[in-house]
Amino acid sequence: MTFRLLLPLGLMFSVAFSAVVSWPAHAAGDRFALVIGNAKYPDAEAPLKEPVNDARDLTDELKRDGFSVETLENAGGDAMRRGLDRLYGKIKPGSVALLFFSGYGIQSSRQSYMIPVDAQIWQEADVRRDGIGLEQVLQEINSRGAGVKIALLDASRRNPYERRFRTASAGLAPVIAPSGTLVMYSAALSAVVTDGGRDRSLFVQELLKEIRVPDLTAEETLNRTRVGVTRASRSEQVPWISSSLAEDFSFVPGNGVRPTPPAEASVAPAPAPAPAPTPTQVVVAPPVPSPLPPAPPAPQPTPVQKVDTPPPPPPVAPAPPAPSPVIANVAPAAPAAPAQDPFADDPTIKSLSAKIAANPEDAGALYRRGQVYASKGAYAQAIRDFDDTIRINPKDVEALNNRCWARTVVGELQPALRDCNEALRLRPNFVDALDSRGLVNLKSGAVKNAIADFDAALKINPRLTSSLYGRGLAKQRNGAAQEGALDIANAKAMDPNIVREFEAYGVR
């Protein structure tokens, strides 16, 4: 359901009248905020740059605006829950309660969850176990009597958990919030924003700019923020707002004189005077690229290494029997230790390896370690772990799919195809396996089969970027250049990193 941002009724009255009736005072003691910036997720390739800086900047601004603020940085689940409990305990009837979260967010079962840095997410059920549900937080704040409830989530980021399960949609879900609530996401529903490597997010920069304008209602502040982000990103990032405020609230009350709304603050902003039309994410077909990408070389069968059988050695007179210790000590250094695992000190791998050492038949730990290895590009180690997982449980469709994908990346295409076929035999319409098999067929040159697999995956999940991009490549190689270019453009609009991802798979 789409929520419409309502224009404040105060705009319809005279300045003098609004000065009398608008914006309850909400003294400093009545304003409480919890600000969370989570950047250091062990499962991510590198810490996020924006959340901690954004949390600190917003904390400073809210304190200037009379809020009592608690700030958490790189908080685990227990720390986040304790911080929320302290926020709940401060709230009095009629208070203003504000929650800001920057980090990774995931939607599951049509609810949005804030992810602590120590969350262990391997399947969708883990999101609900380790994540902090936004709706539950808002309901608890409401039950304590808060008059104004504000939630600001800068969490619509592509996250490191997506390849582990894809049954949930990307981005965040609409929130069912109690009356008197104002919610804003940094991006549209079910959309993600790629971390641009900046020290501070565009969303928080625009938010701070508008918060400092006196005599704006909170709705106007967030609406102007939305417009600012949309224009600065050329419509690539469009924040989402839901409001059910029952009273006007201003971050910075002024003298009651309403500021003149700038042109960009209207709900329906005028088109930007750019020489070219503002790009949209899905509906605009890009020009057909001039040269078609060269057809991939026909897949070469995995070369069978010839091993020349050496001639039999000349007979040697039997040596006198030697004690076994002498033979055992001939070359002690060679088999001394297995090759060093470059990821052995990774906290997640270290923990899982300890579990496997204690129980070598722990299929769950083997599977999870394989996923972590794969996410780090250590495909040989990942395949070995998936081998052991499938040995223990030959019907583990998740392990079969993941081994299919890992084998595809390293070029073991025929074994990969067998894995994906088996996963789909065990679970027909398994979207992950359809997507993986599409990649197998794309790399092997079976472009019609690839298109069929990607089509089937997109019918189940239309926002599956990897299938959309893969289908675009397959269509171009099958001669449908314009259709393929449209798929590719739409996929890149949803995920600008998709090209780099496929290049890592050996597909260009």
pLDDT tens digits for range 350-370: 888 998 999 999 988 898 888
Residue 477: closest CA among 453, 501, 433, 507 = 507
Helices and strands (H and E) in the chain: how many:
18, 9
Write the pLDDT tens digit of every residue in 17-58: 333 333 344 554 599 999 999 999 998 888 999 999 999 999
For residue 158, the model assigns a pLDDT of: 85
CA-to-CA separations, 503 to 108, 383, 437, 500, in angstroms, rounded: 30, 20, 17, 5
Q: Helices 413-426 and 397-410, interaxial angle, to 10°?
A: 160
How far is residue 182's CA from residue 176's CA, in Å, rounded to a whole number?
11
Structure tokens that stand for 344 in this block: 């052995």
The identity of residue 447, as a single letter, is V
Domain 345-504 homologous superfamily, CATH: Tetratricopeptide repeat domain (1.25.40.10)
161 and 374 Cβ atoms separated by less than 8 Å? no
Q: For the chain, give every residue range classified as CATH 3.40.50.1460.
A: 9-265
Q: In what order do the strands lie in the sheet with 132-133?
A: 105-108, 111-114, 132-133
Assess whether pLDDT exceeds 50 at residue 319.
Answer: no
pLDDT digits (tens, 9 = 90+) for 258-269: 455 544 433 334
Of 141, 153, 34, the residue nearest 83 (C-alpha): 34
The one-letter amino acid code at 25 reads: A
The answer to whether residues 481 and 288 touch, using CB atoms and an 8 Å cutoff, is yes
DSSP code of residue 345: T
Residues of the chain with CATH 1.25.40.10: 345-504
Task: Tell which wins on pLDDT, 164 or 244.
Answer: 244
**pTM summary value:** 0.54
Task: With both helix axes pointing from N to C terminus, report the angle between 481-494 and 465-477 in degrees, rounded to the nearest 10.
Answer: 160
- Residue 478, classed as helix, strand or coil, is coil
pLDDT of residue 440: 96
Please provide the average confidence, as pLDDT, over all residues in the chain. 79
Selection from 242, 248, 241 nearest residue 225 by Cα: 241
How is 187-222 classified by DSSP, letter by letter?
S-TT--B---S-SS-HHHHHHHHHHTSTT--HHHHH
| Residue type, position 308, single letter | D
CATH topology of domain 9-265: Rossmann fold (3.40.50)
CA distance 106 to 127: 7
Q: pLDDT tens across 402-427, in order? A: 999 899 999 999 999 999 999 999 99
